[in-house]
Structure 1
Amino acid sequence: MTQTIGYGVLYYAFSVFLAPMQRDLVGSGTQVAAAFTLAVLISALCAPLVGRLVDARGGRGLMATGSALGTLAVLAWSRADSLPQLYAVFVVVGIASAMVLYEPAFAVIVSWFDGTSRANALLALTIVAGFASSIFLPLTGLLVESYGWRHALVVLALVYGLSAIPLHAFVLRHRPHPPVKAAALSRERTTIVRAAVRARPFWLLVIAFTAHSGAVATIAILLITYLVHLDHSPIFAAGVAGLLGVLSVTGRLVTTGLQRRLPAAIVAAVIFTLQAIGALLLPLVGDSVPGAIGCVLLFGLGFGIDAITQPYLLTVRYGTIAYASLAGRIAFFSITARATAPLSAVALTQLIGYGSVMTTVASACLAAALALTAYHRLPLSQVPT
């Protein structure tokens, strides 16, 4: 519930407010959109620290505080009268997002569940939260049309605050563990993190999930405009792009099922390779309706599978003691790529064209696949679980 509403309010709703904010704040689309990019970058910067705090203290206090901070930030957003005020608000939105969205939520699940139960819990979370855009984009549009963008933000802030704050504060709790001295646990965690960041496997994961995040973010931003560029109608382009959300659910179900029978890294590497094929074929066959649909189907299968695969790979190799600390370090790189890759891609399309950008996307997916293949070949180290 909190992830679905959190992503709907703190992430997806922004696109609905872009046009009315541009009009009222007297700024260009790029200037207003820069606030969202700023929030994502701030979230990336905060991710390592948030990971350490979740490992040390659990998710309850951090996520409850982040929910309150996010609620206040959205309320302040509704009162922003200038671009500097908007940017200041979105610094806070970025901090709150790092405290309440997927990374800390995954850490809570990883610390509570074991084995198959953990995989099922992660799958349930990502599938349900995957509908955040489907719910909150039309809901936000209706609120803006009925009450204006400022009052719509007040309503969304109340919806988020009244749900997320009490759920995080009163429902989240630590999993019962045998008593362990905090100092000993902290030393053990520090040892695991230091050993991990000095070794090759961790950096192969960083390469894989950073490259893949950049590729997925680029396609998410450029797909509709590229299909229109290929002479498809805007309605068709939007409809085909809408398949990505449905396919992300399909990809997660398939990935979770295959991971129980095959190596998780290889499963993800194969799917990333299919995405690369889809990106490479799009400039060649995307001008036809079957070609465009086929390429989107291939690429869409990989949407969101990093959310399933990364926790699995980290816990198998490093255990759960330092999961959030390690995941936070990976998130710093992958979230930064997610924020900067689309802007770079838009600029590159003006210099080298859509076809070359699709080749770059395919190269990133292949790099991710190769990194996971290399990761799979490395022996597992013995670490506490």
Structure 2
Amino acid sequence: MTLSARRSLAAVSALGVSQIISYGTLYYSFSILAPAMGEEFARSREWLFAAFSGTLLIGGIISPWSGRWADRLGAGRVMTLGSLAAAVSLLVCAWAPNWSIFAPALVTTGIATPFILYNTAFAVLVQIDPQAAPRRITLLTLIAGFSSTLFWPLATGLLKWFTWREIFLYYAGLQLCICFPIHFWLSQMTRRSPMLRPEASSDPATFDAGSLPLASRRSALILIASGFSFGSFALSAMLVHLVPVLAAVGLGTSAVLVGTIFGPSQFASRLVNMVLGHRFSALAVAILSTALIPLAFLMLLLPPPVPLIAGAVLFAMLFGMGSGLNSIVQGTLPLALFGHRGYGEILGKITAARLTVSSTAPFIFAFILEQFGPHAALAIAAFVGCCGVVTFLMVARLVRRSYQ
């Protein structure tokens, strides 16, 4: 095994730990802790998830800058600063005396997310070893997929003994004591990426192997960003509300148990992709992953002859599989079509569109859930997911035409 291969495998292991912690502390725990926050601040679900939507929106706004900085400074350095920012934001949330301070503090956690979550982590792997990056990205998502499986039960258990404020303090400690050292170590391994040069020659030799011709790049980028935006709207809406929605459709206390199927399903889909993924293009996996999401929602809308628990288990399995594959193709599809030149910037642009659209999902979904019930919310989310499938089919058509 070459030195570069050993370094990239070590980076995957370290990033796996930091991604589990970062997604768990900044994303997955919120739906579990939200009722306690709402009770203390006397705010409804809509208010809480409006604030949480603000974190996704600010993350989308910051993403293009985080991508460019990852290319210019090295992705490891960007992640190091991000873990510090995440810890500070969590501390401010924990110490916020009232809603008027807590809500803006919660939104500031979104500033940290583009710097420490998948986008920049993928850029780390591309900068360490561009050739092995697609397989390493799959391996990283395989490990990080356990974040929800660990943090949903963890947050539920911690709430029995601690307040949400004390839990946030604990989460800030995880960012400082575990994520920060990992990211600092990675900063010594990463290097700057080649920057995008729009004015560069259109000669195919100037582009990475397998990337799209220059003439097709802009259209492909717009379509890919749109496809991921539709899919992420459906994903974001349900990921934040997964346990409460399962309870609302009638599972009651079994909702958390069924929700834990989501993580292993993510793991299973990523494991299959790691073993068999070389047989399929990144675009084919993108279409499949996006289609699994609305199909999962339909499992919770099956008519009465189908037992609710059976539909819920099928939902958790399909939704986990779709989410697991979606996380992979967010990194591998841009790399396959555009190459590694300016990878961080391209990923940042796609993420900006994706997060800006999906930032509205938790609030809209919470509103529909409260006003019209879980079945209406699931049906609307399924429709949006189907729009994502159609968009990726349009990308496939564009790619075929580009190579004819």
TM-score range, shorter chain: 0.7 to 0.9
| Corresponding residue pairs, total | 374
- Give a deviation string over 1:56-93, Cα, whole Å, max 9, x none: 11113222112112112222222100112112312321
Q: CA deviation at 1:138?
A: 3.9
1:201 to 209, 217, 220: 220
CA apart distance, 1:342: 3.2
Distance 2:126 2:190 in 1: 10
Aligned counterpart for 2:126 among listed residues 89, 94, 110: 110
Is residue 265–residue 318 contact of structure 2 (8 Å, CA) maintained in 1?
A: no
In structure 2, what is the Cα distance between the partners aligned to 1:278 and 1:239? 17
Change (3 A) 1:141 1:234: closer
The alpha carbon displacement at 1:354 in A equals: 4.7
Taking the aligned partners of 1:256 and 1:223, their CA distance within structure 2 comes to: 26
SS in 2 for 1:260: helix
TM-score (norm 1): 0.84
**TM-aligned CA deviation for residue 130 of structure 1:** 1.9
Matching of residues 1-385 of structure 1 within 5 Å:
1-115=17-131, 117-175=132-190, 185-186=194-195, 188=197, 199-221=218-240, 224=243, 227-228=246-247, 230=249, 232-280=250-298, 282-285=300-303, 288=307, 289-349=309-369, 354-379=374-399
SS class of match (2:43): coil
Alpha-carbon distance in 2 for matches of 1:363, 1:22: 30
Question: What amino acid is aligned across from residue 301 of structure 2 in structure 1?
Answer: P
How big is each residue's C-alpha offset from its partner over 1:103-147, in whole Å with a ceiling of 9 and x where there is no partner?
1111111222234x3233212221222222333344445555445
Alpha carbons 1:41, 1:94 under 8 Å: kept:
yes
Task: Using the aligned pairs only, state the percent identity.
Answer: 26
Find the aligned partners of 2:349 and 2:273 in 1 and give their Cα distance.
Answer: 24
What is the distance in 2 between the residues matched to 1:107 and 1:302?
A: 22
Question: CA shift at 1:213, angstroms?
Answer: 0.8
Letter in 2 for 1:320: H
How many angstroms does 1:359 deviate by? 3.8
Q: Using the alignment, how far apart are the partners of 1:296 and 1:8 within structure 2?
A: 18
- Superposed displacement of residue 223, structure 1: 5.2
**Deviation per residue, 1:309-352 (Å, 9 max, x gap):** 12222112211121111111111122233321232234345666
Residues in 2 aligned to 1:43 and 1:354: alpha-carbon distance in whole angstroms: 27
Contact (CA 8 Å) 2:242, 2:259: kept in 1 or not?
yes
> Which amino acid counterpart does residue 334 of structure 2 have in structure 1?
L
Q: Deviations over 1:210-236 (max 9, x none)?
A: 111111223335555555555x43134
Aligned CA-pair RMSD? 3.2
- Separation of aligned partners in 1, 2:330 and 2:82: 23
SS in 2 for 1:188: coil
2 CA distance for matches of 1:200 and 1:88? 36
1:21 Cα shift?
A: 2.9
The CA deviation at 1:245 is 1.9
Call closer, same or farther: CA 1:186–1:283 in 2, change over 3 Å: closer
C-alpha deviation, 1:175, in angstroms: 4.7
Whole-angstrom CA distance in 2 between matches of 1:11 and 1:50 = 19
TM-score, L = length of structure 2: 0.80
